[in-house]
Structures are given as C-alpha cells and as structure tokens.
Structure 1
Amino acid sequence: MPFPIPTTLLGPARTSAPLRTAAASPAVRWLLLATVCYFLGNAARWAGIPAAHLLTALVVGVIASLTGTTRSRFPTRANRSAQAVVGVLMGSYLGPGAVRSVVGSIGPLVGVTLATVVLCLGVALILPRLTRMSHSDAVLGMVPGGSAAIIACADDLDADSRVVAFMQYLRVGMVAASAPVVVLALHTATHAGNPAHARPFGSALLPDSLALVNSSHTLAGLLVLAALCTLGGSLGRRLRLPAPTLLGPMLLTAVGVVTGAAHGFQPVGPLQDAVFVVIGLEVGSRFTRPTLRHVGRMLPYVLAATFTVCLMCAALAGALAAAVGISFNDAYLATTPGGINAVLATAASLHSNVALISTSQSLRLFLVVMLTPLLIRWVTSYGARTVRRHAV
C-alpha cells in the first residue's frame, strides 16, 4: 500500500508556479515593451530623429499607460539603475578641460537658474487665482526639479500628491519631448551624411556596434561602471544629495576622470540606448487615466502654465546663449525647467556641451531643493493672508 502524501504538501507545489508566473508577468511585460522601444528607437534614429530612443520610449510609455497596456508601476530598480548609468555618463564628460570651460560661465548660469525659479514661483502664484488649486499644490507642482522628492513630501506639506505628481511629470514630459524636437527644428543635430541613405532600413534596426563601453576590455569596463554606479549611489545617499542615484555617481565619476583613477567605462552603443529607453518609458508611464480624471477641469490651466514656463525658459536660453557665446541648443538644454534625466540623456545623444549642461542642471537641482522648504513656508503664509483678506 503506497504511503499517503498529505495534501498540505501538495498544495504549495501546485500553486507556486502560477504565483511565480503572475508575479513575473509585469516585469516581463515591461521588458517586452522596452525591447519594442529599442528597435523603434533604432528606426527613428535611421529616420534622422535626434534622441530617438528617449523620445520613442516616452511616446510609447504614455500610450501604454493611457490605454491600460501596463497597469503596474515601472520597475524601481530599473529606473534607479538607469539614473546611475546616466550619472556616470555625465561625470565622464567632466574632465579638467571641460570644467575649466564652465568656470567662466558660472555667473550667467547662476543668474539664469535663479530666474528660472522665480518664473516658476510667479506662475504658481497665479494658478490658485484661476482654479481651485491650493497655493501648496501650485508651488510644489511648478517647482522646476527634484520631482521624486517633491512628490514624496507633498502630503506632509498639506498638498494633494496626485495634483503635484501630475504637474511635475507633465512638465518633465514636455521637457523630454520638446528638447529633441527643438534641436531638430533648428537643424543643429549632425548625423553622418544622411542616415536614410547610409544604411538600408533593415540593417538600421540593428545596433551599429555591439560594444557596451568605450574600452576594448568590455568586462573590465562593465565592472568599473557597476562599481561607480553602486558606490556613487551610496555616496549620494550618505551626503543627502538631491537625486542621489544620479548625482552621486556623477560626482564620483568626475573625481575618477579628473584624477585618472578610472577610464574605459563610458557606456556606449546598445547599453546607452537601452538606458535612454528606460528613462523615456519611466517618464511616460506616469500619465495615467485616474490622474487625468482627478485633475479634471484644472488640466487646461496646468497645460498653459507648464507651456508658459517652458517658453520663458527658452527666452532665458536665448539670453544665456548671447551672454556666454554658446549655441542656443546648448543654452536651451541647460535652462530647461527640470527633467534632468531626460535632458542629460538628450545632451549626450546629440553630442552637446555636456559639461555646461550638466553643471547648469545640477546647480538648478541643488538650488531648488534648498529653497523649496522656504518657498512653501512663505507661500503658505501668503495664501493664509489672502484668504483672510477676502474673508474681511
């Protein structure tokens, strides 16, 4: 007579595989979507679109989110890893020569950064007069940078985190989408000949090279890259930097480049393109139907405010270009109101003045993080005084 096996032992064995499959399905879905975006990005680059992988992934992310194709949040680890790689990429451009070229422009950069914050604050003070939005919602929603940190602290500052999140990521999305388009419209992005004629469409879907880092020793370069990402992220958190996953690796890499301690780790080719795909998908996935329904009637005003801020920053870019003697495209990427990940990815893919752009964007991010608590305190008291004045 066979020994009876308890059903309690059979139960987990029957259900564990389906559970594992169900748990893995969101990650698999995002992986498939990222793969599609990668090949679409290759096709877009063949067509001459600048920052093709970033822009394509952004559009696909928005469509997938609004149509319900992806109901789960974008994987946090993938997003943080991509930010760290972008930080290393930016830090690799901050060599001694690049830093010296930025020093002479630091005055105008600080002035433009302060002007950007003031413009955003001015627009934020107008929004509550036109909508039912609170002053805290308006200011936190229009703060030009530090989106993740701003959204995380929204509830603690008596703001509606859904409104703040929508406003922040609407601005980031507009910046990410407009940066490549502006460059394309001005015809300053240079491509080797005419890509549409240089390679047939079929082969253009494949990467130009299989190299992942700018070194003949791929494994060693990848190990150095991983170490810079990991140690840089830990350093950023220990120093309590804004966007520590991005700025920590950037600072550590800059030190390694200046001292000559690290080399041959810069991500290139398919690895760089994949990182840009992740960043674009993450930003696009923030635009959901529930958020749009909640914002409701405020949407036209939020769109107008965001467009106004972007337009004013473009005007500041023109002033910066004239003052420093750089191209408008470099100045525009340096003065965008936020979207640092997307902007730096765009700058790298377009071979812009990355040292200038990363310095300006990092300066703005630090300034915003330092000033936000003071701005909220002032605006809250300002809003209370306004309410009392209307009550009287």
Structure 2
Amino acid sequence: MCGVLYCEDVGRAVRGDGLASASPVRSLAAWRRWAIWPALIAAGFAAGELAEPVLPAPHLLAPLLAGLALALTGLTTRQVPRAVTQVCQAAFGVLVGGYLDAHSLFQTGPGLIPLAVVTVVTILLSLGGGAVMTRVGHVDRASAMLGMVAGGSAAVVSTAREMDADGRVVAVLQYLRVAMVAGTAPVLAHWLLTPGAMWPLADADHEIGPVVTGGHQGLGLVLLALVALAGTLVARAVRLPSPALLGPMLLTAALTASGAVGGFAPTGALRTVLFTIIGLDIGLRFTRSALAHIGRLLPLAALCTLVLSGACGILAWLLARFADIPISDAYLATTPGGINAVLGIAVASNADVPLISGVQGLRLVMMLLLVPLLVRFGRWSSTAR
C-alpha cells in the first residue's frame, strides 16, 4: 500500500514537474513549428527562380509542385498557418485592386459599351464552364466556379479555402488555363503585332528592387498594411464574402480611381513571396487520392479551357471591329489567361497597357464579387429543396 502511495506521489511529483516545465517545452515546439516556414518559403522562392525559363507563373507553380512533392512523399503533413494565408489574401486584394484603371476605361469613349458587353459575356462564359465542370465532371460548385474564373489565378486560388472550395482542384483548373494561354499568347502577340514583338516570360518579376509600386518604400509599406487591415475589417463588418481579399481589393480600387493615394501595391520580392506562399499552401494539401481524382478531370478541363479561349478570341475580333481597338490590344484585353502573364506580354509588346489592365481588372473584380454570391445562392437553393 505504501509502495502504491509512494508511486502515486512520485507520479504526481513527476507530473507536477512536467507541468512546471511544459511551458518552455511547448514554446520551443511552437517555435520550431513556425521556424520551418521561412525555410520552406525560401526554398519555394529559389525553386521559382530556377523554374522561370520553363514554367508559366513560375513563382506560384514551382512552390506548388514542391509542396505537392513534400506532401505525397510524407516528408511533411503540415499546412501553411491560416493567419499567414489571410495576410496573403489581403495583400493580393491590394494587388488586384490596383489593376483596375477606371480612368483608362472611360477614355475609350464610345468603345466603353462594347468593352462592357464583352466583359459581361466573358463572365457568363466562365460561369458556363463552371456549370459544365459541376454537372459533367462532378466537381462541387464552389471549386468549379473558382476554377473557371477568367484571369487573376493567384488571387482566385488564395480564396478557395475561405469559400470551402477544394484549392487543389481550383489550382489545377486555373493553371491549366494559364499554361495554355501563356504558351500561345506570345506567339499570337508576335503574329498580331509585328515580327519584332518580344517573347516575355509569363511571370517575369525583378526580385531585386522596390517591394511596393511607389517611390517611397517605407510609406508605401505602411499604406499597404493600413489598406489591407482597414479593407478586411470593413468587409467583415458588412459580411462581404471572402473579406480578406475583397475588402482590400475594393478599397484599393476606390483609392486608385479617386487618385487620392497610390504607390502601395505589392511588387518585386514582396509580390513573389506572396505567390510562393499561396503555391506552398495549395501544394501541401495534395494527397494521392486527390491527385488521382484531379487527373480524371484533366480532359474535360482542357476541353472547357479550349472552348473558353476560342470564344474569347471571337470576342476580341468583334471588339476590334466595333470599338476601333487594335486587334492585338483587344486580344490581350479579353484573353482568359492570368492577368500577370497578360500584362507582362502587353508591356513587352508595346500594347495599350492601361486599357488592357483596366479591362482585365474590371472583369476580375466583377468575377470575384459574383462568384461568392453565386456559390452562396447555390448552397441556399440546394438547402431549400
């Protein structure tokens, strides 16, 4: 009996000592869990650098593939902390909001109506592609719609978790289209413009230099943080879907359109780090079963992408004819590829960048506003039945 009591007392003492010393142990474990992410991000950054000559959007796709390899081999089962992805979404919101150049759109005069019509038709085509993926491919509504959103692939992929969509499916659908468009757009730009048109990298980004678009980097970073925080808080207060992305995006678009303040959108190394984190976040979520399921979707996804791209090409021809816009500018403004890839081609080919970024940005903003509402409506109607 005494031996039992002694053992219990020793056990209590050990447990008591354990509790007393658990705090620094837990702190060390927590520190190790967080310390791994800077190393993974740095490795993803380096992978993107190496992949620039061979991949479209390399600073997102290379980390995605690296995360996929880590997940499938079992080297890590961890996922990017939610707080980190929320910060990335807010920064992406600022990035996307800066693309919307309302002044350039209004300068088109009579051509504004055809531009608006083409934008609406492209949105409807994207939603139609999402409906096909849902009905034929048996993909959930949120993942199908986000996957078929035309343009803004990184921003769209970053919202998948928040909308209860499968980020892996969304990423595959988005970057299948980005790869197809990025692979053909330089050829078409070369053909539509002049024989001397450049063949730019799809996601070329100079990592050494400014991290925000303005001349005053310190002030720009402060404004970036304030706009991201204020936009997110306001969006949550009014219950906007995907508040971390849409709030900063709308606030940035309003500030940019008013001309009140600017020069705080992420660029250079900061922009690349955002891409890297989003890529890792998606890649680390892959499993063998998910990869097999997505592989079965590829033929249907490729067909939908080809149809969408062909329809956008017809819209570009109509826009060039009725809005008195050069066919090359009309094509780059309507193509459903990633907005960063399109703008890179536009800059290198001396196209009308403000017009192209305005049309692409307008379509992206409208899509990101509409898709969450349509997903919610679809869920509500299914529940009502």
- Name the TM tier (shorter chain): 0.7 to 0.9
Query: CA contact under 8 A between 1:83 and 1:246: conserved in structure 2?
Result: yes
> Partner residue of 2:63?
57
Query: CA contact under 8 A between 1:50 and 1:183: conserved in structure 2?
Result: no
> Partner residue of 1:365?
368
Within 5 Å, which residues of 2 pair with 1:202-221? 207-209=207-209, 211-221=210-220
Report the Cα distance in structure 2 between the residues aligned to 1:185 and 1:27, rounded to whole angstroms: 44
Provide, for residues 261-313 of structure 1, a one-character-per-residue CA deviation record: whole Å limited to 9, x for no partner: 212313222112211212222232332235347x4xxx554222222222222
Query: CA contact under 8 A between 1:120 and 1:142: conserved in structure 2?
Result: yes
Within 5 Å, which residues of 2 pair with 1:1-40? 10-12=17-19, 14-40=21-47
1:138 to 1:26, Cα distance in 2 relative to 1, 3 A: same
- What is the TM-score with the length of structure 2 in the denominator? 0.72
Report the Cα distance in structure 2 between the residues aligned to 1:191 and 1:147, rounded to whole angstroms: 26
Unpaired runs of 5+ residues, structure 2, are 1-12, 150-155, 191-196, 321-328, 348-352
Deviation at 1:17, TM superposition (A): 3.4
> Partner residue of 1:321?
316
1:182 to 1:249, Cα distance in 2 relative to 1, 3 A: farther
Within 5 Å, which residues of 2 pair with 1:99-110? 99-100=105-106, 101=108, 103-104=112-113, 105-110=115-120
Within 5 Å, which residues of 2 pair with 1:177-256? 177-178=179-180, 180-183=182-185, 190=198, 207-209=207-209, 211-256=210-255
Q: Which of 170, 173, 179 matches 2:172?
A: 170
Report the Cα distance in structure 1 between the residues aligned to 2:282 and 2:249, rounded to whole angstroms: 21
Deviation at 1:57, TM superposition (A): 2.0
Instruction: Give 2:176's aligned amino acid.
Output: M
> Partner residue of 1:356?
359
Query: CA contact under 8 A between 2:168 and 2:282: conserved in structure 1?
Result: no
Deviation at 1:187, TM superposition (A): 6.8
1:69 correspondence with 2:79: no
Deviation at 1:349, TM superposition (A): 5.7
1:43 to 1:142, Cα distance in 2 relative to 1, 3 A: closer
Report the Cα distance in structure 1 between the residues aligned to 2:257 and 2:64, rounded to whole angstroms: 34
Report the Cα distance in structure 1 between the residues aligned to 2:318 and 2:247, rounded to whole angstroms: 30
Deviation at 1:226, TM superposition (A): 0.4
Query: CA contact under 8 A between 2:186 and 2:198: conserved in structure 1?
Result: no
- What is the TM-score with the length of structure 1 in the denominator? 0.71
Q: Which of 84, 92, 102 matches 1:78?
A: 84
1:261 to 1:248, Cα distance in 2 relative to 1, 3 A: same
Provide, for residues 108-165 of structure 1, a one-character-per-residue CA deviation record: whole Å limited to 9, x for no partner: 11112112222332343334xxxxx5xxx554542345778777777xxxxxx8xx66
Q: How many residues align?
A: 337
Unpaired runs of 5+ residues, structure 1, are 1-5, 128-132, 155-160, 195-203, 337-342, 385-392
1:190 to 1:274, Cα distance in 2 relative to 1, 3 A: farther
Query: CA contact under 8 A between 1:212 and 1:268: conserved in structure 2?
Result: yes
